[in-house]
Chains A and B, each alone.
Chain A
Amino acid sequence: MNIPLREAGPNEAGRGQSPHRRGVIPALVAWWGPRPYTQLALVLVILAGLWLLGQNIAAALEKAGISPGFAFLTRAASFQIGESVIPFSAGDTYLRAIGVGVINTLRVAAVGCVLAAFLGTALGVLGLMGNPLLTRLVRIYVELIRNTPLLLQLFFWIALARNLPGPKQAVHGGGIWLTNRGVYVPAPVVEAGWLWPLLASLAVIIAVLALRRFAGVRRGTWPVALALIAGLFWQAGLAFDIPALKGLNVRGRLVLSPEYAALLVALVVKFSAAIAEIVRAGILSVPEGQREAARTMGLSDWQIMRLVILPQALRVIVPLTTSVFLDLTKDSSLAVAIGYPDLVSVLNTTANTTGQAIEAVLIMAGTFLMLNLGVAALMNHYNRRVALRGEGRR
């Protein structure tokens, strides 16, 4: 809305008035736009307001005997953390504690995004299969999940997880054990170590990409690559460690704590409903005529989906899914309500034990800002590819 607040006077640099002036400062003046001094005054007033609040905070902190700054990060933290990927014990630094929190947040958000995408896509597609019963079931699921708060669902899942039976009476099936001590899942194990098979797989993938890119070999490259990778892992002795009841306890290599399991299930369930709606809207956004035209050309159902519908639907789906992933990452901070030690939870404990509340909130905001920018950049990259592919095929 490029409307000047009032008629631009002779002394004011209106936007369209200065094509003949060049240089950094005139450009800056043009960017700053009309009413330069009023704007400057507004910016100064806001800064002064923030400074005043800062003064109040500084005075309150001084009274409480807390010195502001990030020096506390290197001090020893006196608390324990319930679960951690990297080793942590009371007495390690606050910095390390916050690192544990970041890893825990990433651990639940990343797995949650992938699972929610799969479940949501499946639900969205199933709802469009044309089977009235199935369509109704998907709708009931989506409406029920969408119209109740995530935190309420989380409370429900954690109550369920904590009230599961003990190992002796545990619910189990398919190698998964649900007990009150956690959820035991089958873990892939490579006795000789993960390094070599993973490196070799990476080499195979790079080779395939190079073949497709430079040698123009396209047909059948991925199945061959998959077979090669499967063979590699089989050669390395990939096995699955299946949890089993031994004595009074279930033994297994991969145990999800009740808190992690509840948070993951809550996030996946909640956001799969959102993704199902997006996938549905994306597929429906492709005009019926496209499908009909493809059918007249003799394409099979699968080809219609892959070559006609998906490339166009993805352009709607990808940007919207990006914001769902961002919401999921932010909402993983509800962990603090059930005692899963994510970043927010650890920082809350830090603020309570050190009194460095401002620094804690700043770290919280900064980390989420970076996470957000990271996810957005990643998804924008994918989005560009989706859009370009469509462009290239036109």
Chain B
Amino acid sequence: MSVIFMNYRSRDLVAPLWRSLAGGPLNTVLTLASVLMLALILPPLIHWAITDAVFSGTQEECRAASGACWAFLRAKARFILFAFYPGEHLWRPILVIVTLLGLMLASALPRLWGPALILAWPVTLALVWALMAGGTWTGGILARVSLNDWGGLPVTLLVWSTCMAFAFPAAVLLALARASDMGGLRLIAVTYIEVMRAIPMVAILYFAMLILPLALPQGVILDKLIRSTIMVALFWTAYLAEVVRGGLQTVGPGQAEAAQSLGLGYWRIMQLVVLPQALRQVIPGLVNLGIGFLLATSLLAVIGAFDLLNTARASTTDTQWLGFYDEAYAFAALIYFLLCYGGSRYSRWLETRLRRR
């Protein structure tokens, strides 16, 4: 009895699979081609990453082996993640990473969307910057750590979240300006958005490096990291504004007219009627843009700021462990991948959830 049952079950599972893989000549060819490709890629990859790899040991042992040198990561992971941040204060960047990831998670839950969350962003960011910097910012309780020693994942997350926190409200204002009935305002908004969107981010970073220091009043000196954060925030504002504008266009004019006839003023109409509907429409788009921005923070490496990608690259130039590019980049790629893949899965989940409503 049980044998018949098993047989029935397995045929039920196997037959459709067989049909989908080998039904028809074209399908069979595609399956064979896929298997051939896997056979070409997988064995060397497994040999490199696992069977021939060195998991612990010295540089010499790594050089002798043909596989990956994971021992390199054991030695350099701290540098890749935190750069030169002093060892006895390492709990601070760790806390920063945890706090910022927590803030992102909290922002991801539709249940928590509200004024409290909007307030939580600037407060958390101020605390986190103070925690990283120490010194006078924390009233002298924590030791000061120079910006030169910052690096790795906390810098990537800090730049990303600070720029987002500035750019999002600015983008809403810019989108409203572009959609307003005031010609002068529209002109300013359109010029800003189109110029920013046409130039590459690298050019913006060079502007932050070369020109912004000259444009500041005499005696004001900002660190490279701060300058690029300011410029990148201004840059992202234009991209976010276009997405928000797309949301504004989905809200029919009747909504605002109805609210106006109730005697509401412009800002109340926007706050209570138009923006909630408009933003809801484009949240998945905003999340996707946010993921793109997280990847784009890696461009800070071009101007020599120590973000996650640049620490990974710098770790390969250590004379003790020279030239283990693949391992360093694989490690950084894994972190970026986990953050961004998680984000894109979340965006898809949110899209179906919002559509269901």
Contacts and interface: CB of A to CB of B under 8 A. Distances in A.
A344 B203 contact: yes
Contact of A131 (B30, B180, B210): B30
A148 B181 contact: no
A361 B20 contact: no
A357 B211 contact: yes
Interface stretch (A216-224, A232-240, A244-252, A362-370): A362-370
A60 B214 contact: yes
Contacts of B260: 3
B326 interface: yes
Interface string B173-211: 000100111111101100000010011111100110011
Most buried by B among A4, A42, A333, A360: A333
Contacts of B34: 131, 133-134, 137
Contacts of A144: 337
A42 B201 CA distance: 27
Kindly state the interface size class of chain B when it binds its partner: 35 or more
A330 interface: yes
A155 interface: yes
Q: What is the predominant secondary structure among interface residues of chain A facing chain B?
A: helix
A152 B329 contact: yes
B256 interface: yes
Contacts of B37: 137
A146 B31 CA distance: 25
B269 A143 contact: no
A389 interface: no
B181 A3 contact: yes
Interface string B336-357: 1100110010000000000000
B202 A334 contact: yes
Contact of A330 (B195, B200, B257): B200
A32 B183 contact: yes
A4 B181 contact: yes
Nearest to B309: A152
Interface string B216-258: 1110000000000000000000000000000010000100110
Interface of B: 17, 20-21, 26-27, 30-31, 33-35, 37-38, 176, 179-185, 187-188, 195, 198-203, 206-207, 210-211, 213-218, 248, 253, 256-257, 260, 265-266, 269, 274, 291, 295-296, 298-299, 301-302, 309, 312-313, 325-326, 329, 332-333, 336-337, 340-341, 344
Given A4-B181, A36-B184, A333-B202, 12 more contacts: A1-B274, A3-B256, A33-B183, A46-B188, A60-B213, A129-B26, A132-B21, A148-B333, A151-B302, A152-B309, A155-B313, A365-B203
